[in-house]
Amino acid sequence: MSGRSTKKIADPVKKQTLADFKVGVDNVIFSVDIAQNRLLVLLVMRRDEPFLGQWCLPGTLVRHGESLEDAAYRILSEKIRVNNLYLEQLYTFGGPGRDPREAPDSFGVRYLSVSYFALVRFAEAELIADGVSGIAWYPIKQVPKLGFDHNKILEYGYRRLRNKLEYSPIAFDVLPELFTLNDLYQLYTTVLGENFSDYSNFRARLLKLGFLCDTGLKISRGAGRPASLYRFDAEAFAPFKDKPLVFI
């Protein structure tokens, strides 16, 4: 308490003035490798201080005239080429001292991070290596210690991914136009774990909802009966928007 009042003498000058910020955008970019049943997250190796040479989420600072979402799309397109993706804002981390570039207890500029969460199609995603430093898909279970507070951001993004998958149709943004129910099921199990639902029940529930339409086309993958190809019908899905827990 007495420590506090000591502080109060020094504070008024500083505390009353507004902080100046640089705003960064950090992306948690997921993709699902169905073939290997792995959930992957995109990491890049820092080329600058701080945290030079350490793995981080891909991020950037926001430029003049650029919206937050624009910045998020910019980093994304600097790192990977994709046509299909889902992207949404995640959370904003902005405590003082979260970035080492902020001189401690100074009038210096603060660094705030608005994080975005993205899910991209693994098969078509093409990583853009700049030839200087690393970029890689990391299986979620093998992510190392990251720079900044990026492990926390990633954890936040992972939780969001699992929730989103349960009640919104983001899977279809990342599946090909035509897909089998097994493709869909595998995507779900890879993210949510094996025991989230039995295949037969998953199937029955989804088909009953009525926004997956059977194209009649069949695809044969090696041995076994050929699978029907389905298409996601966005119009038929419309009435389910805003309704909780559509899937699983």
What are the residues binding a second copy (CB under 8 A)? 14-23, 61-69, 89, 91-92, 94-96, 105, 107, 109-110, 112, 114, 163, 166, 244-245
From 149, 118, 152, 144, select the one nearest 31 (Cα to Cα): 118
19 binds, among DNA, a second copy, none (CB under 5 to 8 A by kind): a second copy
Residues near 143 by beta carbon (within 8 Å), at least 6 away in sequence: 41, 43, 55, 151, 154
Q: How far is the CB of 196 from DNA (least distance, A)?
A: 8
23 contact, one of DNA, a second copy, none, CB 5-8 Å limit per kind? a second copy
Nearer to DNA (CB atom), residue 68 or residue 227: 227
Q: How many residues does the chain have?
A: 248
- In angstroms, the CA 197 to CA 211 distance is 19
189 lies in the binding site for DNA (CB under 7 A): no
User: Comparing C-alpha atoms, which of 102, 115, 192 is closest to residue 153?
Assistant: 115
**Please, what is the minimum distance in Å from the beta carbon of residue 149 to a second copy?**
13
* Residue 40 beta carbon to DNA: minimum distance, rounded to whole angstroms: 22
The candidate with the shortest Cα–Cα distance to 129, out of 80, 184, 196, 65, is: 80
Choice between 138 and 240, CB closer to DNA: 240
Binding DNA by CB under 7 A: which of 9, 220, 235, 242? Answer: 220
241 binds, among DNA, a second copy, none (CB under 5 to 8 A by kind): none
Check binding of 224 to DNA (CB under 7 A): yes
One residue of 201, 210, 217, 236 binding DNA per CB under 7 A = 201
Segment contacting DNA by CB under 7 A, of 32-40, 77-85, 106-114, 177-185: 177-185
For helices 181-192 and 199-209, angle between their N-to-C axes, nearest 10 degrees: 120
Residue 177's SS3 state is coil
Residue with tokens 């910045």: 71
- How far is residue 228's CA from residue 212's CA, in Å, rounded to a whole number? 11
Q: Is 181 in the site for DNA (CB under 7 A)?
A: yes
Closest approach, Cβ 140 to a second copy, in A, equals 17
Nearest to 26 by CA among 61, 78, 67, 70: 61
- Is 228 among the residues that bind DNA (CB under 7 A)? yes
What single letter denotes the amino acid at residue 87?
A: L
Q: How far is the CB of 224 from a second copy (least distance, A)?
A: 34
Distance between CA atoms of residues 86 and 174, nearest Å: 7
DSSP letters for 186-218:
HHHHHHH-GGG--HHHHHHHHHHHT-EEEEEEE
Q: Between residues 2 and 220, which has the closer beta carbon with respect to DNA?
A: 220
Task: Select the binding partner of residue 77 from DNA, a second copy, none (C-beta < 5 to 8 A, by kind).
Answer: none
Which residues lie near DNA (CB under 7 A)? 180-182, 197-201, 203-205, 207, 218, 220-228, 245
